[in-house]
Amino acid sequence: MLKVNSRKIEQGDTFIAIKSAVRDGHDYIEDAIDRGAACIIAEHGDYKVKTIIVPDTRKYLADYLKDLYADKLDKIKLIGITGTNGKTTSCYLIYQLLNHLGVKAAYIGTIGFYLPDSHRPLVNTTPDLYDLYEMFVESVNAGCTVVAMEVSSQALANRRLEGIKFDFACFTNLTQDHLDYHKTMKEYENAKLMLFENVKKSGKAIVNIDDQYGKDFVLDRNKNILLGKGNVDYQISDVVLTNNHSIFKVTHDDEVKEIILPIPGTYNIYNYMNAYIVCDNLKLDVDDVIKETLNLKAPDGRYQIVKNDKVTVIIDYAHTPDAVENVIKSVREYAQGRIFTLVGCGGDRDKTKRPIMGRIATDNSDYVVFTSDNPRTEDPDAILKDIVTGLTKTNFEVISDRKEAIKKAISLLEQNDILLVLGKGHEDYQIIGTEKFHFSDFEEVSRYVK
């Protein structure tokens, strides 16, 4: 059997050396041989077992997997969603809607690998090629006919989806993030565009044209479907927001439908529309889609509400400037009291967004508590200093310890106030140094809001 992980080699297996952003499989060839590999596929070297040298092991693997599992892949429609924000919610809503409507679907992304009746966590938002194919096969074996997956820019840049073609590609939005990796917004955008260059000839590209970068994702080679508030294929209008749902209208082919989405926030309307459009283009009855929309839930850690009769706390994964601004402004549209925001920035990541995050939080909130969010190998206090440097407003305080910060922020709340706890969402850990320690925003909030 062909394996990409030397630790999984059994007697007689073939080991293929794959290069990734963090390791080179060629460094593990001797380990694979020691474990019983009978054949090595590599880009260079001479080894004591049968060796096949190829120009590009990742392409070799992609072709091998595609040929091996062609019959399985033919049985599923593959939906890829990319963008800075909204990938998880869009994908998860597609997964929910389809399963509610009797179409068995799987989900692959930030919160895990979900089949209709089970789920498990994943290490990466978009797993590597070999693992993806294993999930595709598992999905087909579970009776799924659709797989919705998040597609990250780093996965595209590192060729984790080499050779995979999509039936639907969806673009949510593009804002500053991951510039520690991509260096420039253009490089970041180009990585995202790779998904849209791999849409099947029979496939469709769904593009949020209201985003400033949306027009760049409308490629001549694709059958494009545009969504937004203008005169486009699926037009959003008459939006009404409350603290627990959104009401809006969608016009398509001169037919107007009213939708009640039980997940607040304008940006979640755009996330939902990816699911609505996919269902419509899979020829599902839109009236059934609208009815089942009432049963949708946000993924854990996405606009997750914990409240009592006095105050409301919203836990959300928002960790980019645009996402933080969107969630605060969405809450502002219906808030009856003050808005408090608790937020930080991750260590060993794009430093340029830190002062931007600080300004957005203080400009749009009544009060802000800045705190740690996965400092990794950086000094938490240095990260916080980067965030508050240059702020002109004084409506904030800094508490490095996230547990103490949550406790303090909740203690400040009065009747009808809302606290946004942003940045970690579903994550149940803090990364300090190179170690993970258990930490859950939901658990901490629930201690004080009952």
Pairing of strands 105-109, 112-115: antiparallel
* Cα–Cα distance measured from residue 355 to residue 361, given in angstroms and rounded to the nearest whole number: 10
| Domain identity same for 83 and 116 | yes
Domain that holds residue 56: 2-66
The whole-number pLDDT of residue 141 equals 96
- Any idea what the CATH number is for the domain that residue 23 is in? 3.40.1390.10
- Any idea what the CATH number is for the domain that residue 149 is in? 3.40.1190.10
- Any idea what the CATH number is for the domain that residue 365 is in? 3.90.190.20
Cα dist. 98→95, 103, 402 in Å? 6, 5, 38
Indicate whether 103 belongs to any domain: yes
Confidence of residue 23 (pLDDT cuts 50, 70, 90): confident
Spatial CA neighbour of 286 closest among 256, 323, 317: 256
The H or E element spanning position 162 is none
Spatial CA neighbour of 280 closest among 240, 321, 233: 233
**Per-residue tokens: 60:** 């070799």
- Can you tell me whether residue 354 is helix, strand or coil? helix
The torsion angles phi and psi of 112, rounded to 5 degrees, stand at 135, -170
| Domain identity same for 149 and 25 | no
Query: Which of 14, 41, 66 lies at the terminal end of a domain, its last residue?
Result: 66
Mean pLDDT across 244-272 = 95
Query: Which of 237, 270, 293 lies at the terminal end of a domain, its last residue?
Result: 293
* Cα–Cα distance measured from residue 200 to residue 208, given in angstroms and rounded to the nearest whole number: 20
The H or E element spanning position 440 is none
pLDDT in tens, 396-448: 999 999 999 999 999 999 999 999 999 999 999 999 999 999 999 999 999 99
176 vs 413, residue with greater confidence = 413
Q: What is the mean pLDDT of the chain?
A: 94
CB 2, CB 17: distance < 8 Å: no
Mean pLDDT across 43-66 = 95
The H or E element spanning position 449 is none
Indicate whether 23 belongs to any domain: yes
The whole-number pLDDT of residue 312 equals 94
Instruction: Find the DSSP H helices in 121-184.
Output: 129-141, 153-157, 179-182
Indicate whether 298 belongs to any domain: no
The whole-number pLDDT of residue 431 equals 96
| Domain identity same for 39 and 76 | no
- Can you tell me whether residue 396 is helix, strand or coil? strand
Indicate whether 107 belongs to any domain: yes
| Domain identity same for 253 and 393 | no
- Can you tell me whether residue 122 is helix, strand or coil? coil
Query: Which of 270, 293, 316 lies at the terminal end of a domain, its last residue?
Result: 293
Flag whether pLDDT at 180 surpasses 80.
no
Confidence of residue 179 (pLDDT cuts 50, 70, 90): low
Indicate whether 95 belongs to any domain: yes
Mean pLDDT across 89-104 = 98
Flag whether pLDDT at 36 surpasses 60.
yes
pTM of the model: 0.90
